[in-house]
Amino acid sequence: MDTWLLVIVLAVVLFGLLLGGVWVATALFVVGYVALLLNDTGNIGLLLATTTWGTSATWTLTALPLFIWMGEILFRTRLSEDLFHGLTPWLNRIPGRLLHVNVLACSIFAAVSGSSAATAATIGRMTYPELEARRYPRRMMIGTLAGSGTLGFLIPPSIILIVYGVSAEISISRLFIAGVLPGLMLIVLFMGYTALWSLLHRDQLPEDTETFGLKEKLYATRRLFPVLGLILFVLGSIYAGWATATEAAALGVFGALVLSLVTGNLTRETFRDSLLGATRTSCMITLIIAGAAFLSLAMGFTGIPRALAESIAAMELSPALLLVALTLFFIILGCFLDGISIVVLTTSVILPMVERSGIDLLWFGIYVVLVVEMSQITPPVGFNLFVIQGLTRINIMTIARDALPFFLLLLLAIVLLSLLPGIATWLPMKMTQ
């Protein structure tokens, strides 16, 4: 079968399955099977077994369920609630006031959960009712929550950085270090936009009726110490070279269990629920990774990646134009696939072209995460949109519209990262010297 006709057939099968509500992992397996079948490839069962096992049975991937479990433990304890009450007194005089709680709380929780959906769900469950009761504008409540929730993918430890590191065979610890400065850049962009919007729309903000003295602020700050201590405990062990990402994940679970035990939140029910929640999420992600690996193998047999690479190479795109084309490509994919699926589905096709263009794969990993963050708030399959819809019962297109300014801020971050690549590469180079 002609290569481009095969591309059309497989695309129709893939999007037909996804639009039909079939699991993403199942859709990837089916498309891989169809590709091998149309290519007259024998021993499909053997290829399926060896690829699935080879992809899932890696030590590096062990960090994934551990970091998810750590986030699940915090999600079910009072530690997450402490974030809101510990930050509130310090933000009361900044333009935008408590709207910044969404940004900072998501940033802090992202550093201990590694999951975008978990970050949006946990912080949204705490902050949305509080902000709604204080009559803050809905568009900014949803916008800051949707945009800041995506930080779970970038601020280490990040699940998607682990997935990219496994796919691209790059040190996960270096990827974690590379994500720090871009993460801080996004926090500044989000808070800057929130402050600017608040200055321009003072009439839409509630009157400031709460005042906090220095003593009250310092007293409230004590509630931040357990979570901040856990962040330093996990990330410090990686940056100091004491532990690998997988070992740090195990330390994070241990630290989360100790904190929840000390604060009296660890019960048989919370332990069981956190373990089951982590198991469900980990199985889903691992199955998607296995399905994408099988599809990638099938694509190799069909010759589609080679044809695609040759077509783009024939265009003789400069690295800058290649990144523009890839950004558009990823944004379109983000309308139909979740972030992890995008990464594992495209890396085998995209990375050879990226390497040929002379783009640093470490830098490219941070770029990919930023683009995937955008996909989390693009309809119709933006995971953060679904999470926030579940919390607020608001129409998903309304939520997407409210999140649009933060989508554009993520696009601005990609431009800044492209113009100043040192934002991602300087710190890993400095740490390894």
pLDDT computed for residue 405 by the predictor: 92
Whether the pLDDT of residue 303 is over 90: the answer is no
pLDDT at residue 210, as a whole number: 65
Give tens-digit pLDDT for 377-425: 876 656 677 777 777 778 878 888 888 999 999 999 999 999 999 999 9
What is the Cα–Cα distance from 77 to 91, expressed in whole angstroms?
Answer: 24
What percent of the chain stands above pLDDT 70?
A: 86
Q: What does the domain layout of the chain look like in residue ranges?
A: 3-432
What are the structure tokens assigned to 313, written together?
Answer: 């190479």
Position 309 scores a pLDDT of 59
Q: What's the confidence (pLDDT) of residue 194?
A: 92
Q: Closest by alpha carbon to 74, among 282, 258, 290?
A: 258
Range of 120-124, 322-326, 390-394 with top mean pLDDT: 322-326
Crossing angle for the helix pair 99-113 and 116-133, to the nearest 10 degrees: 150
DSSP 8-state class, residue 207: P
Check whether the bond before 380 is cis (ω within 30° of 0): yes
C-beta of residue 316 within 8 angstroms of C-beta of residue 307: no
- The tokens for 309 are 């690479």
pLDDT in tens, 255-290: 888 888 887 778 888 889 888 888 887 787 677 777
152: Cβ contacts below 8 Å, ≥ 6 apart:
106, 109, 110, 113, 114, 115, 116, 117, 118, 119, 120, 158, 159
- Give the pLDDT of residue 338: 64
pLDDT at 129 over 90: no
pLDDT band at residue 186 under the 50/70/90 scheme: very high
- Number of C-alpha atoms within 13 angstroms, CB side, residue 62? 13
Averaged pLDDT for residues 293-312: 71
Which of the pair, 199 or 133, is modelled with greater confidence?
A: 199
Residue 208's pLDDT band, with cuts at 50, 70 and 90, is low
Cβ neighbours, 10 Å, residue 330: 23
What pLDDT, on a 0 to 100 scale, did the predictor assign at position 413?
Answer: 93
Over residues 26-61, the pLDDT tens digits come to: 887 888 888 888 877 677 887 888 877 877 777 767
Whether the per-residue pLDDT at 326 is higher than 80: the answer is yes
How high is the pLDDT of residue 185?
Answer: 93
- Report whether pLDDT(8) > 90: no
What's the mean pLDDT in 71-92?
Answer: 73
Query: How deeply is 115 buried, as exposed, middle or buried, from its count of CB atoms within 10 A (0-12, 13-18, 19+)?
Result: buried
| pLDDT at residue 126 is higher than 80 | no
pLDDT at position 112 is 67
Residue 336: the pLDDT is 62
